[in-house]
Amino acid sequence: MGVSTLVITGASRGIGLATAELFAASGWRVLNISRSPIALAGAVQLQIDLSDPDWELTQAEELLEAVSGSDRLALVHNAGLLAKDSVPTLDAAHLARALQVNVIAPQQLNRLLLPSMGQGSSIVYVGSTLGEKAVAGACSYVVSKHALIGLMRSTCQDLAGRGIHTACVCPGFTDTEMLRAHVGADESILGSLAGSMTFGRLITPAEVAETIRFCALNPVINGSVIHANLGQVER
């Protein structure tokens, strides 16, 4: 099927890097959008700060040029901002920044890239278990991941008949740099999180990457929320 290109945000580490490596191994071109470069031979790097609401004013043309010539795009919205905050203290500016990175930037990319997306293309949102539940101390993240599922469902309905499908992959506790930073690299907390899943371990980035790839290639799951969490123990 001609040239297939993965456009992924935040692929310099963790789930994003594992996803980029998996697609590249299958012969896809890889275009990473992030502030940090990706350690993957042959990948194209666009250094874009998605927390800046005006990024597209100066970098949209470069992005469109980078995907030109592609017959099929898989757009994976992976970049995310996870902060420690709560309803009693979260101010408007910090909530707005989380929404910009986690929700608004994905829609900016959708609008820019949809004209370049032929039949067989896909849009995969990387959500979270916290897209359908909540824990204390992560208010802006919880709010934005709930909103991301709404954006995915709107994508499904608004693109009906165009041959482009979508899904939201919601990982559970995955052994990434972001999770370790969020818990202060406390092994006791990481152990407790691992114990909250039925397999008694953290998820690997490669496992989530496989799920993302499945969703990107299978239109039958259009509009679905796919939980990749090893089964969480209900307490």
Instruction: Kindly report, residue by residue over 14-35, the tens digit of the pLDDT.
Output: 999 999 999 999 999 999 999 9
Block residue for tokens 């969480």:
232
Q: Is residue 193 part of a domain?
A: no
Q: Which residues of 84-119 are buried (b: 16+ CB within 10 A; e: fewer)?
A: ebeeeeeeeeebebbbbbbbbbbebbbebbbebbee
Q: Are 30 and 20 in contact (CB under 8 A)?
A: yes
Q: Report the number of distinct structural domains present in the chain.
A: 1
Q: 128 falls in which pLDDT band (50, 70, 90)?
A: very high
Q: Which of 116, 106, 152, 121 is nearest to 28 (CA)?
A: 121
Q: Which of 39, 38, 35 is nearest to 47 (CA)?
A: 35
Query: What is the domain extent for residue 216?
Result: 4-174+205-228
Q: Are 18 and 203 in contact (CB under 8 A)?
A: no
Q: What is the CATH number of the domain that holds 215?
A: 3.40.50.720
Q: Which residues make Cβ contacts (< 8 Å) with residue 98, sequence separation at least 6?
A: 81, 83, 140, 141, 143, 144
pLDDT number for residue 52: 97
Is 169 in a helix, a strand, or coil? strand
The answer, yes or no, to whether residue 225 has pLDDT greater than 90, is yes
Q: Which residues make Cβ contacts (< 8 Å) with residue 65, sequence separation at least 6?
A: none
Q: Is residue 149 part of a domain?
A: yes
pLDDT number for residue 90: 98
Rounded to 10 deg, the angle between the 55-67 and 105-113 helix axes is 40
Q: Is residue 184 part of a domain?
A: no
Q: Is residue 154 part of a domain?
A: yes
- Mean pLDDT to the nearest integer, 51-70: 96
For strands 72-77 and 122-126, give the pairing: parallel
Q: What are phi and psi for residue 69, nearest 5 degrees?
A: 90, 0
Q: Is residue 195 part of a domain?
A: no
Two tokens, residue 144? 């934005």
Residues pairing with 227 in the sheet: 170
For strands 165-171 and 4-9, give the pairing: unpaired
Q: Is residue 114 part of a domain?
A: yes
pLDDT number for residue 67: 97
d(CA 32, CA 160): 27
Q: Is residue 164 part of a domain?
A: yes
Block residue for tokens 């275009």:
31
Neighbours of 145 (CB within 10 A): 27
Q: 1 falls in which pLDDT band (50, 70, 90)?
A: low
Q: Is residue 78 part of a domain?
A: yes
Instruction: Kindly report, residue by residue over 133-182, the tens digit of the pLDDT.
Output: 999 999 999 999 999 999 999 999 999 999 999 999 999 877 777 777 76
Is 164 in a helix, a strand, or coil? coil
The answer, yes or no, to whether residue 189 has pLDDT greater than 90, is no
Percentage of the chain with pLDDT > 70?
Answer: 98
The answer, yes or no, to whether residue 190 has pLDDT greater than 80, is no
Taking CA atoms, 63 is separated from 32, 56, 212, in Å, by: 10, 9, 22
Q: Which residues make Cβ contacts (< 8 Å) with residue 221, sequence separation at least 6?
A: 165, 167, 214, 215
